[in-house]
Each structure stands twice: as C-alpha cells, then as structure tokens.
Amino acid sequence: MSEEKFKVAPRLPKGRKRKKEEIEILAKARLKKRRPKLTKKRVFLPAIAACILVFIGIYFAIWSMHYQSTDDAFVEGRIISVAPRVSGPVISLLTDDNLPVKKGDLLLEIDPNDYIVKLNQAEAKLAEAQARLKVSNHDVSKNSSNVNQAVDDTASAKSKLDFAQKDFTRYDEMYKTGVVSKQDYDRSSKDLEVSIANYNSASNRKKAMKSEFSSSLAKTKTIEAEIQRLEAEVEQAKLNLSYTKIYAPSDGVIASRSVEEGNYVQVGQPLLAVVPKNVWVVANFKEGQLTHMHPGQKAWITVDAYPDKKFKAHVDSIQRATGAKSSLFPPENAVGSYVKIVQRVPVKIVFDEDYSKYNIVPGMSVVPRVKIK
C-alpha cells in the first residue's frame, strides 16, 4: 500500500479497525505533509551569503592593517575677523557677503572729518611749540653771550683788583715812611675799594648770567620734550585718520558681514570676516589608530559634498595633545570613580592637489583614509 494513498485517511466501515501498519503509514504521511520542502534555493543562498560575509571580513581585516580612517574629520581654515580701530559712522561700504577680495582692497570707510580736525589741532600745537623752541634757542644764544661777557668782565675786574691791591700795598709802605702824601695814599685806598666793588659786581653778574643761561637751557629742553610729545600726537592723529579706511587683510571671501552703510561702529566691534581659500583637514583619530601613523604618509580625502571625488593628500602633523586635553575645560580624571574613555588626537592632513574648482569650505565633513603601511 503506497503512502500517497493515505495522505487523507478514508473512512472505514463501522466495526472495522485499522491495522497497525496502516496507522504507521498514516502518521508518516501527516509528518511529511507538515515538514517544509527542501529546495536548492534555501540551501545555496545562505551558503553564498556566508561566503560573501567571510570574504568581506577578510578584506576589511587586511584593509585595517594597511589603512586607517575616521568619519570624525572636518575641513578647517583661517577665519580673519575684521574690526575697526577707530569709532564713527560708516559712510562707504564697498563689499558684500560671499564676494572675493584681494589683500589690500578697500572694504569700508568711516567718516574721517573728526579725525582730520584732531590732526589739524595736533599740527597747530606742534607748530606753536616749534616757534617757542626757536625763541628759547635765541634766548640760550643770547644768555650764552652774556655769560661770556660776564666772564670777561670778571677777569678784567680781577686784574684791576690785583693791580689796585699791589698799588695800595706799595703806597701804604711809602706813606708809613713819609715818601708819599696823604692824598696819594687815600687815592690808592679809594682805588682798591672801587676795584673790590667792581670785582664783586662782575662776579655777581656772572653768576646771574650763568643762572639765566641754565634756566634758558632747561626751558629749551622742556620745549623739546613737549615737541616730541606733540609729534607723537600728530603721528597718532595721522594713524587714526588712516584707520578710517579698512582694507582686506588677506585674499579670500567675505563672510559674516554684520555692518551696513550708516551704522555707527565702535573700536573692536566685529564687522565682517575674510575667509582665505587655503584649507586643510583635521581628523580626530582614536589612540589605537596612531600606532603606525606619522607625518608624510599618503592619504586620500572624500568630501561629503563630493562623494565621487577622492583628493590626494598627506599627513602634515599630529597634535601633541588629545582633543579633550586641549579643550577649555580639560577632564579631571583623579576624582571619584574612573571610566576609561578612548581619547582622540587631532591629525592635520593637507591637500596635495588643486581643489580651487570645488567649493570646499571650513566646517565641511570629510572622511580621510591614511596609508600607514
């Protein structure tokens, strides 16, 4: 009796019992009906998938031995903030957002009238001081001549005093012996007194002239110091006037413009930013990825904005501190319980090919791949 015959058990007449063999055949038929059919598709597909997964695992294992990659990487660049060095209303704005500029291009101008007036005032004070210096120099020259004249007069008075002193001594001796008259003696005595008075007067005048000469010299030095101060004020006024014109500090593109024509700006107030076109990549690799990494190794960069393009690059440098250690608030590990966290170290990667035709700007996400072996 075949098994197909008993896939559906027929009804037996009343009073007849099934034989043991028939019951076993029926049970096998029911069990076979419940069991899923084994097909080639169910056997081969899992086997193929397992092989593919094995090959992928082997590939990535070999790849990880020769390359290191991370998605914690971004484009970096310099952003130069432009701020005024003098305050005042903006009378001319010559740039706009996202416009390219060259180094030295005029970006905006602050009203210069107040600074022109201050410069004129400083120059007028300087001219006045220079005129006073000329007068003082004339006084110094005059007082120098007076001092020389007083020195000569004192020397002449001293010579006359010496002569009168000797003449009086001679007449005094002769008067005691009766050789000269009382009138000659008195005349010599009077001449001595006059010579002494003249000498004292000349000496006092010499001292006064020297004092006046010293005073005029001090006055001249004071005016010269004042002139130096005023010259510095003039230079500062010229600088302040030049600061009313703000030029581009570098080649780049204008960004973050917050100033409009007519705004009153303060010293140090950020007005706009210039973003140079030179950019690079900072990739934050895990500690374990840096074992065989060093500057000079080849790298490839994939920018999220251009997924079909791989840029050639190389490792420029590796930061001498982790990102956490370089942050504003570095972690304090010597407190409480400690949980080890894998640290990341910034690695600077520089482009080796021209990227100027691509809009690669600071902040973009990238995926670098570094060949370590």
pLDDT over 70 percentage in the chain: 86
pLDDT at 331: 78
Q: Establish if 64 belongs to a structural domain.
A: no
The total number of structural domains in the chain stands at 3
Q: Of residues 190 and 334, which shows the higher confidence score?
A: 190
In a domain, 14, yes or no: no
Spatial distance between the Cα atoms of 254 and 242, rounded to a whole number of angstroms: 22
Task: Point out the least confidently predicted range of 10-14, 46-50, 85-89, 217-221.
Answer: 10-14
Report if residue 185 sits inside a domain: yes
Are 288 and 358 part of one and the same domain? yes
Quick: pLDDT tens for 221-278.
Answer: 888 999 999 999 999 999 999 999 999 999 999 999 999 999 999 999 999 999 999 9
Higher-confidence residue of 28 and 351: namely: 351
| Mean per-residue pLDDT of the chain | 84
Q: How far is CA 74 from the centre of its chain?
A: 22
105 and 250 housed in the same domain = yes
H helical segments located in the chain: 20-34, 40-66, 113-177, 182-242
Among the listed ranges 46-50, 77-81, 317-321, which one has the minimum average pLDDT value? 46-50
pLDDT digits (tens, 9 = 90+) for 78-122: 999 999 999 999 999 999 999 999 999 999 999 999 999 999 999
Same domain, 261 and 283: no
Residue 285 sits in the same domain as residue 317: yes
Compute CA 210 distance to the chain's CA centroid, rounded to the nearest angstrom. 56
Q: Is the pLDDT of residue 3 over 50?
A: no
Structure confidence at residue 8 as a pLDDT band (50, 70, 90)? very low
Interatomic CA distance for residues 237 and 232, integer angstroms:
8
User: Is residue 240 one of the residues assigned to a domain?
Assistant: no
User: What value does the mean pLDDT take over residues 192-216?
Assistant: 82
Judgement on whether residues 252 and 319 belong to the same structural domain of the protein:
no
Whether 133 and 198 map to the same domain: the answer is: yes
CATH number at residue 103: 2.40.50.100
How confident is the model at residue 154, as a pLDDT? 82
Q: Which helix (H) or strand (E) element contains residue 110?
A: strand 106-110
Can you list the pairs that 319-327 forms with residues at least 24 positions away whose Cβ atoms lie under 8 Å? 319/345, 319/346, 319/347, 319/348, 321/345, 322/287, 323/284
User: Do residues 349 and 264 both lie within one domain?
Assistant: no
Q: What is the pLDDT of residues 267-317, one digit of tens each?
A: 999 999 999 999 999 999 999 899 889 999 999 999 999 999 999 999 999
Q: Given this model, what pLDDT does residue 99 score?
A: 93
Q: Is 311 inside any structural domain?
A: yes
Same-domain pairing of 267 and 287: no
What per-residue confidence (pLDDT) applies to 29?
A: 67
Residue 193: its pLDDT value, please? 82
338 and 294 in a single domain? The answer is yes
Helix axes 182-242, 113-177, angle to 10 degrees: 170
> What's the gap between Cα 143 and its chain centre?
55
Q: Find out whether 214 and 146 touch, Cβ atoms under 8 Å.
A: no
Domain containing residue 151? 113-226
For residue 22, is it within any domain? no
CATH assignment at residue 159 = 1.10.287.620
Question: Is 23 domain-assigned?
Answer: no
One domain for residues 90 and 146: no
| Any domain includes 11 | no
Strand partners, 113: none
| Same domain membership, residue 315 and residue 289 | yes
Residue 234: what residue type?
V
Does residue 303 sit in the same domain as residue 219?
A: no
